[in-house]
């Protein structure tokens, strides 16, 4: 198959869909890979790295789209890319269709076939191509929190780990899933006193088994949260209710009970945030202050560490991408039910229920599309 790797052109996106190691894997399986010049620059990969791995470099994005049967990238195509997409071309990337009607209609009009990272789903209902970014954001959260607790950045001026004779900071983590667990590991590693709250007792049991001594678990309810925020120096929001907005666990009125200069890092801000006063910010201007509480609410935290994020993402996406290249999307989706759930649009027909429902569009049965008669 001919694979194309364009440079991401969305504002401030430095990740890339395939690394030089990925190119080598495709080449080993006999595929051709076209990479746009400087596509890997933001993640620390030079054109020479790609060429050594066996990629063919192309100067423009139009040529990459023009040559490729399958485009592998990171973010959804943006307007400038729409007219480059050809009928039946396979796009393997994040789409988040339910948050963009314009993108959905554009892909339908271009008669594209869109396999979305975010809806590839394993039998245990986990989302293997979202987990890596939650891991990155979770591990970043205490690092950012520690930074904004420093006095020159308007924080309380407390060192996360303390020093001998001086107590460490109290870190409260709301939600003990992927983000929360990774945040707890790093905060505990810094030497902070960490509390993780969740409504899943099973999850709290698992965490209690695996976490070090400076991490305690507590059931998440309004009473416990109100008490804990009075002691917290850093609060990390990491709650997710699948398919719904995050619940506001820390409400506006609760801020006055917090210590002046305390910091909240609301990782769940992309789902509305679990701290009521959080609204999305960017890496250019990551924080704002309300009632003396520093709010860090960057909606794409992994974007700040493109080297780590690209490797983490492509470790997870590459095996699927190779399978798609080896078998073609139809056969690959017939054989792999997880991958099949990633199909959102096929030749311009919407096949994913959530997308059809979001924009009132007709839903085509994916099994019908996969029948040989349809090929
Ligand atoms: N800002 C970013 O850059 C960024 C990056 C990655 C992920 N995220 C977001 O982070 C959030 C968490 O993602 P995740 O992968 O950890 O999800 P997850 O499903 O692994 O974990 C969510 C946890 O929240 C718990 N929960 C639900 N309701 C709760 C409540 N009332 N109190 C306490 N806990 C509760 C669940 O039981 C679960 O353990 C999501 O909104 C995700 O989109 C943001």
Claim to verify: residue 166 and residue 247 sit in the same structural domain:
yes
> Ligand 1 centre from 102 Cα, in Å?
27
Q: How many CB atoms lie within 10 A of CB 217?
A: 22
Residue set of the binding site? 15, 75, 134, 198, 203, 220, 239-240, 267-270, 298-301
The per-residue DSSP string of 249-296 comes to SB-GGGGGGSPTT-EEEEGGGGGT-SBTT---B-SSS-EEEETTEEEE
Domain edge (last residue) among 304, 321, 348: 304
Classify residue 125: in a domain, yes or no: no
Domain edge (last residue) among 304, 336, 354: 304
Number of structural domains, the chain? 2
The per-residue DSSP string of 170-224 comes to EEEEE--SHHHHHHHHHHHHHT-EEEEEES-HHHHHHHHHHS-TTEEEEE--HHH
> Ligand 1: which residues within 6 Å by Cβ?
133-134, 137, 174-180, 197-200, 203, 220, 238-241, 246-247, 249, 267-271, 299-302
Q: What's the rounded Cα separation, in Å, for the pair 260 and 283?
A: 24
pLDDT at residue 270, rounded to an integer:
85
Look up 96 and say whether it is catalytic: yes
Claim to verify: residue 264 and residue 334 sit in the same structural domain:
no
Would residue 76 be called left, alpha or beta, if left means φ above 0 and alpha means ψ between -120 and 50 degrees? Answer: beta
Atom of ligand 1 nearest to the CA of 246: 41
Q: What's the rounded Cα separation, in Å, for the pair 120 and 237?
A: 25
Q: How many CB atoms lie within 10 A of CB 228?
A: 18
> Ligand 1 centre from 136 Cα, in Å?
13
**Which residue out of 47, 49, 96, 336 is catalytically annotated?**
96
Domain range enclosing 49: 2-119+306-374
Q: In this structure, are residues 136 and 306 in contact, taking their beta carbons and an 8 Å threshold?
A: no
Instruction: List b or e across 63-80, with b for residues whose CB sees 16 or more CB atoms inside 10 angstroms.
Output: bbbeebbbbbbbbbbeee
Claim to verify: residue 94 and residue 140 sit in the same structural domain:
no
Please report, for the domain that includes residue 155, its CATH number.
3.40.50.720
Claim to verify: residue 228 and residue 163 sit in the same structural domain:
yes
Claim to verify: residue 79 and residue 112 sit in the same structural domain:
yes
Q: What's the rounded Cα separation, in Å, for the pair 216 and 195?
A: 5
> Ligand 1 centre from 274 Cα, in Å?
9
Ligand 1, atom 37, lies closest to the CA of 200
Written as tens digits, the pLDDT of the chain (375 aa) is 999 999 999 888 999 999 999 999 999 999 999 999 999 999 999 999 999 999 999 999 999 999 999 999 999 999 999 999 999 999 999 999 988 999 999 999 999 999 999 999 999 999 999 999 999 999 999 999 999 999 999 999 999 999 999 999 999 999 999 999 999 999 999 999 999 999 999 999 999 999 999 999 999 999 999 999 999 999 999 999 876 788 999 999 999 999 999 999 999 998 889 999 999 999 999 999 999 999 999 999 999 999 999 999 999 999 999 999 999 999 999 999 999 999 999 999 999 999 999 899 999 999 988 877 666
Claim to verify: residue 106 and residue 140 sit in the same structural domain:
no
Claim to verify: residue 54 and residue 107 sit in the same structural domain:
yes
Q: How many CB atoms lie within 10 A of CB 292?
A: 14
pLDDT at residue 375, rounded to an integer:
60
Which pTM was predicted? Answer: 0.92
Instruction: Please name which of 189, 68, 255 lies closest in space to residue 171, comparing C-alpha atoms.
Output: 189
pLDDT at residue 197, rounded to an integer:
98
Classify residue 66: in a domain, yes or no: yes
Claim to verify: residue 112 and residue 257 sit in the same structural domain:
no
Domain edge (last residue) among 251, 279, 304: 304
pLDDT at residue 373, rounded to an integer:
62
Classify residue 194: in a domain, yes or no: yes
Classify residue 214: in a domain, yes or no: yes
Look up 270 and say whether it is catalytic: yes
> Ligand 1 centre from 273 Cα, in Å?
10
Claim to verify: residue 214 and residue 103 sit in the same structural domain:
no
> Ligand 1 centre from 134 Cα, in Å?
8
Claim to verify: residue 297 and residue 271 sit in the same structural domain:
yes
Claim to verify: residue 259 and residue 136 sit in the same structural domain:
yes
Ligand 1, atom 7, lies closest to the CA of 134
**Which residue out of 31, 233, 266, 270 is catalytically annotated?**
270
Classify residue 124: in a domain, yes or no: no
Claim to verify: residue 265 and residue 170 sit in the same structural domain:
yes
For residue 322 the two structure tokens come to 């190779």
Mutating to test ligand 1, I would choose from 130, 177, 205, 244 the residue with most ligand atoms within 8 A of its C-beta, which is 177
């Amino acid at each position: 198959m001919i694979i194309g790797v364009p440079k991401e052109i969305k504002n401030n996106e430095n990740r890339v869909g395939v690394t030089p190691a990925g190119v080598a894997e495709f080449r080993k399986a006999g595929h051709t890979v076209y990479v746009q010049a400087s596509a890997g620059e933001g993640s620390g990969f030079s054109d020479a790295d790609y060429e050594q791995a066996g990629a063919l470099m192309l100067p423009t994005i139009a040529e990459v789209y023009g040559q490729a049967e399958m485009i592998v990238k990171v973010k959804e195509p943006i307007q400038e890319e729409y007219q480059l997409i050809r009928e039946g071309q396979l796009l393997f990337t994040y789409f988040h269709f339910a948050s963009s009607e314009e993108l959905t209609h554009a892909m339908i009009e271009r008669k594209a076939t869109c396999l979305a990272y975010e809806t590839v789903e394993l039998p245990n209902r986990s989302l293997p191509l979202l987990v890596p970014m939650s891991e990155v954001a979770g591990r970043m959260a205490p690092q950012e929190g520690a930074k904004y607790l420093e006095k020159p950045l308007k924080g309380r001026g407390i060192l996360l780990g303390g020093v001998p004779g001086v107590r460490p900071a109290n870190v409260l983590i709301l939600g003990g899933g992927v983000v929360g667990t990774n945040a707890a590991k790093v905060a505990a590693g810094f030497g902070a006193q960490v509390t993780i709250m969740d409504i899943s007792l099973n999850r709290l049991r698992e965490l209690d088994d695996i976490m070090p001594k400076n991490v305690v678990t507590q059931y998440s309810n309004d009473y416990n949260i109100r008490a804990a925020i009075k002691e917290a120096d850093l609060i990390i929001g990491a709650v997710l209710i699948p398919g719904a907005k995050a619940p506001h666990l820390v409400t506006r009125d609760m801020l006055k009970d917090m210590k002046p200069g305390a910091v909240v890092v609301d990782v769940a801000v992309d789902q509305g945030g679990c701290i009521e006063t959080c609204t999305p910010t960017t890496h250019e201007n990551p924080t704002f202050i309300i009632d003396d509480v520093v709010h860090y609410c960057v909606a794409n935290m992994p974007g700040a560490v493109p080297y780590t994020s690209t490797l983490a993402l492509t470790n997870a996406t590459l095996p699927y991408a190779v399978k798609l290249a080896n078998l073609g999307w139809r056969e690959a989706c017939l054989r792999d039910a997880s991958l099949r759930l990633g199909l959102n649009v096929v030749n311009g027909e919407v096949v994913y229920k959530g997308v059809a429902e979001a924009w009132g569009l007709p839903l085509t049965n994916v099994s019908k599309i996969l029948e040989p008669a349809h090929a």
